[in-house]
Structure 1
Amino acid sequence: MSILGLHHVQVACPAGSEDALRAFYVGVVGLVEIPKPPVLAARGGVWFRVGDHELHCGVEEAFVPAKKAHPAIATDDVDALAAAVVASGRSVTWDEAIPGVRRFHTTDPAGNRVEVQQV
């Protein structure tokens, strides 16, 4: 048996937040929306892909934004993505805790923490 990697990460979101999440993850970050299977689509939420990895945003009835747990998005131009996030009306907080790694944190429209890291 071999573990081949991570297939997806799921974060919670409130019902009705799908359009705002699309605007952020597709329009600002540059992920691609992928269709949910019909049985799961009926539950709400939205899924995204970049390369071989997926980010699933699933509706949670008693939703509370994730303040510590988060997806980390890799980019080849962290400054450009930070500028796009700020231009979309969201704030960025730069973090220099890991020597030699340029990264920032922001929140998605549901209030979930998101990390963006230069690779």
Structure 2
Amino acid sequence: MISGLDHVQLAAPPGSEDRLRAYYVEVLGMTELPKPPVLAARGGCWFRAGAVQLHLGIENDFRPARKAHPGLRVTGIEAYAARLESRGAAVAWDANLPGHRRFYSTDPVGNRLEFLEPSSSGAL
């Protein structure tokens, strides 16, 4: 039986770890997690915010995920969007999900990320 979601993995190109760290830690406010040594040898980075983990794995023939994406719940979505914009990240609002405020952004290698918060009218 599935009991929960452990992490979501996104791909990244070789040599992008410093850009990923700057974005996921400084822009999004996540914490970098140490990778086990055998996995660290492959490159990439792992990040956490609360119970949410995102793993960025190195892929030699990398193509960014432009449609597939993690949906990250946030609190105070207006302030969070302003945080991203003040740190140079583009924010694209989308009003097509009833019961939610949401926007999309991309990480520095082009992966799509969705940020959403239930609106005062309630969630789905």
Say whether residues 1:49 and 2:48 are aligned partners.
Answer: yes
Measure how far apart 1:30 and its partner are: 1.3
Q: 1:37: which partner in 2?
A: 36
Which aligned pairs between 1:95-106 and structure 2 lie closer than 5 A?
A: 95-106=94-105
Question: Where do 4+ consecutive residues of structure 1 move more than 4 Å?
Answer: none
Measure how far apart 1:97 and its partner are: 0.7
Structure 2 residue identity aligned to 1:12: A
Which residues of structure 1 form unaligned runs of 5+?
none
Q: 1:8: which partner in 2?
A: 7
Q: Number of aligned pairs? A: 118
The C-alpha deviation readout for 1:58-111, integer Å capped at 9, x for no partner, is 000001110011112111111111111111212111011111200000100110
Bigger mean CA deviation after superposition, 16-25 or 107-116: 16-25
Q: TM-score, normalised by structure 2?
A: 0.90
Structure 2: distance between partners of 1:83 and 1:16: 29
Q: CA RMSD in A?
A: 1.1
Say whether residues 1:92 and 2:91 are aligned partners.
Answer: yes
Q: Once the two structures are aligned, what percentage of the paired residues are identical?
A: 55
Structure 2: distance between partners of 1:3 and 1:53: 16
Q: 1:115: which partner in 2?
A: 114
Structure 2: distance between partners of 1:88 and 1:63: 25
Structure 1: distance between partners of 2:85 and 2:35: 29
Structure 2 residue identity aligned to 1:49: R
Structure 1: distance between partners of 2:88 and 2:15: 20
Structure 2: distance between partners of 1:31 and 1:4: 24
Q: TM-score, normalised by structure 1?
A: 0.93
Q: 1:19: which partner in 2?
A: 18
